[in-house]
């Protein structure tokens, strides 16, 4: 009987296969409930006492050899299958990796930032959840000021002093509180207004606001800065400044750029006038400087703001502002070739 078991050990060690069915039949033959090992263990009681120890050792050797053989063959098959699944046929040409694309808002924002970086402005950012002081009061909009109604606001219900910022002027306030003049910074970011959503307006949109504070800053400096921006951004250098009102600047103005009337689209977007409003500007109100710890007797400054979404709609002829936030892949793929 011992010699029979040893012959099976040699047979087990010699067995090899890459077929799952053959390996499973081999396992059942030796390790199954009705396999040879169970038969050998059942014969153990009939073995003479002086041979029981040796017989037990060779049975265990057969059992271990069979189990190790089954495990190694299965592992070899799984490794081969995994390698094939990962790499496949290495002689085949590689699959084309689809190119991503920048969002049109990011494209326009980066272009605006690049324009102002060339003339010495840096970039400053701040929180989108603001307090009343930085969003309103420090900007010459004390509590109950009627100009607050110009900006429909999302307030945090549990704390009426906390709100979603309505403009990035709050970033300028924080920057002036922590930096001494000369200050030359732009503040791009997302802002929120409690407005009805339509093709031309949304409850959130994107702005870039600029600030320059130094000794002797004049309205002429503001005009030249804006003229440089419109020339670089649109390729159009003719602008006009119309008197307006903003509580944090005095005097204040709306900025129009002459778009022209060369195409039907020009007539449509300018309403037949050739002029297109792109933002607001003005000289920083002395009260704002004082609230931020800057002496208005020694320093003056100008501020301006433009809407990124509006400019993106103009440059790329996008008819609906809601398309920016719908994440329609068909819309976004159109900007793959745009830097």
Sequence-distant contacts of 115-119: CB under 8 A, at least 24 apart: 115/228, 115/229, 115/232, 115/233, 116/186, 116/210, 116/229, 119/225, 119/228
- Per residue in 288-309, pLDDT tens? 999 999 999 999 999 999 999 9
What's the pTM?
0.68
Using CA atoms, how far apart are residues 279 and 224, in angstroms rounded to an integer? Answer: 15
Identify which of 189, 71, 73, 84 has the alpha carbon closest to the alpha carbon of residue 130.
189
Average pLDDT over residues 72-78: 82
Predicted pLDDT of residue 81: 58
pLDDT grade for 57, boundaries at 50, 70 and 90:
confident
Any idea of the CA torsion for 270, 274, 279, 282, to the nearest 10 degrees?
-150
Q: How far is CA 167 from the centre of its chain?
A: 21
Q: DSSP string of 187-212?
A: EEEEEE------SS--SEEEEEEEEE
Residue 316 has what pLDDT? 87
Where is pLDDT greater, at 186 or 3?
A: 186
- In angstroms, the CA 55 to CA 257 distance is 101
Check pLDDT > 70 for residue 66: yes
Instruction: Write down the pLDDT at residue 220.
Output: 95
Residue ranges at the known binding site for Mg(2+)? 250
* pLDDT at site 151: 61
- State residue 221's pLDDT score: 96
Q: In what order do the strands lie in the sheet with 239-246?
A: 122-123, 183-192, 204-214, 300-307, 275-284, 249-258, 239-246
Binned at pLDDT 50, 70 and 90, residue 218 comes out as very high
Q: Give burial (CB, 10 Å; 0-12/13-18/19+) of 319.
A: exposed
Task: Return the pLDDT at 8.
Answer: 75
Q: What is the pLDDT of residues 130-145, one digit of tens each?
A: 998 998 889 988 776 6
Residue-level pLDDT at 87: 59
> Could you tell me the pLDDT band of residue 88, with boundaries at 50, 70 and 90?
low
Question: pLDDT over 90 for what percent of the chain?
Answer: 42
Q: Is 119 helix (H, G, I), strand (E, B) or coil?
A: coil
Assess whether pLDDT exceeds 90 at residue 82: no
Count the helix, strand and coil residues of the chain and give each as a percent rounded to the nearest 5: 45, 20, 30
Taking 90 as the threshold, does the pLDDT of residue 73 lie above it? Answer: no
Enumerate the β-bridge partners of residue 276: 257
Q: Which residues contact 319 (CB under 8 A, 6 or more apart)?
A: 199, 313
Residue % of the chain over a pLDDT of 70: 93
- Residue positions forming the annotated binding site: 250
Query: Is residue 105 within 8 Å of 308, Cβ to Cβ?
Result: yes
Question: Of 106 and 317, which is predicted with more confidence?
Answer: 106
The span from the CA of 280 to the CA of 150, in Å, is: 14
Q: What is the largest CA-CA distance in the chain?
A: 117
Residue 282 has pLDDT above 90, yes or no: yes
Distance, in Å, from the CA atom of 252 to the CA atom of 191, rounded to the nearest integer, reads 21
> Looking at residue 36, what is its pLDDT?
79
Instruction: Give the residue from 240, 231, 246 showing the smallest Cα distance to 283.
Output: 246
pLDDT on residue 19: 84
- Cα separation, 339 vs 337, in Å, equals 7
pLDDT at 83 over 80: no
Please give the mean pLDDT across all residues of the chain.
85
Q: Write down the pLDDT at residue 106.
A: 93
At 159 the pLDDT is 76
Other residues' Cβ atoms within 10 Å of the Cβ of residue 74 = 14
Q: Evaluate whether 190 touches 205 at the Cβ level (below 8 Å).
A: yes
Q: Does the pLDDT at position 339 exceed 60?
A: no
3-class secondary structure, 249? strand
The pLDDT of residue 266 is: 81
The angle formed by the CA atoms of residues 118, 124 and 130, to the nearest 5 degrees, is 150
Encoding tokens for residue 181? 């003049």
Task: Please count the helices (runs of H) and the strands (runs of E) in the chain.
Answer: 12, 10
pLDDT at 124: 95
């Amino acid at each position: 009987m011992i010699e029979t078991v040893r012959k099976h050990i040699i047979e087990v060690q010699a067995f090899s296969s890459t077929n799952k069915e053959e390996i499973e039949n081999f396992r059942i033959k030796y390790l199954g409930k009705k396999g040879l090992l169970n038969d050998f263990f059942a014969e153990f009681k009939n073995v003479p006492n002086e041979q029981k120890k040796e017989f037990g050792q060779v049975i265990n050797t057969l059992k271990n050899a069979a189990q190790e053989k089954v495990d190694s063959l299965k592992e070899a098959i799984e490794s081969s299958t995994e390698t094939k699944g990962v790499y496949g046929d290495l002689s085949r040409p590689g699959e084309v990796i689809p190119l991503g694309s920048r969002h049109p808002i990011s494209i326009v924002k980066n272009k605006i930032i690049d324009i102002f970086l060339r003339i010495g402005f840096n970039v400053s950012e701040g929180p989108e959840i603001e307090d009343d002081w930085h969003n309103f009061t420090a900007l010459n909009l004390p509590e109950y000021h009627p100009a607050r109604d110009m900006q429909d606001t999302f307030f945090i219900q549990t704390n009426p002093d906390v709100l979603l910022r309505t403009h990035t002027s709050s970033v300028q306030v924080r920057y002036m509180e922590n930096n001494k003049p000369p200050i030359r910074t732009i503040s791009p970011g997302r802002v929120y207004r409690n407005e009805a959503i339509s093709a031309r307006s949304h409850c959130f949109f994107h702005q870039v606001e600029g600030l320059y504070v130094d000794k002797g800053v004049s309205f002429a400096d503001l005009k030249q800065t804006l003229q440089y921006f419109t020339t670089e951004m649109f390729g159009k250098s003719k602008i006009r400044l119309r008197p307006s009102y903003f509580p944090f600047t005095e005097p204040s103005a709306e900025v129009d750029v002459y778009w022209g009337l060369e195409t039907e689209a020009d007539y449509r977007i300018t309403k037949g006038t050739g002029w297109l409003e792109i933002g607001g500007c003005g000289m920083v109100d002395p009260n704002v400087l004082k609230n931020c710890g800057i002496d208005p007797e020694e320093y003056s400054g100008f501020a301006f703001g433009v809407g990124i979404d509006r400019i993106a709609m103009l440059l790329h002829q996008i008819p609906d502002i809601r398309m920016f936030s719908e994440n329609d892949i068909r819309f976004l793929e159109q900007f793959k070739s745009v830097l």
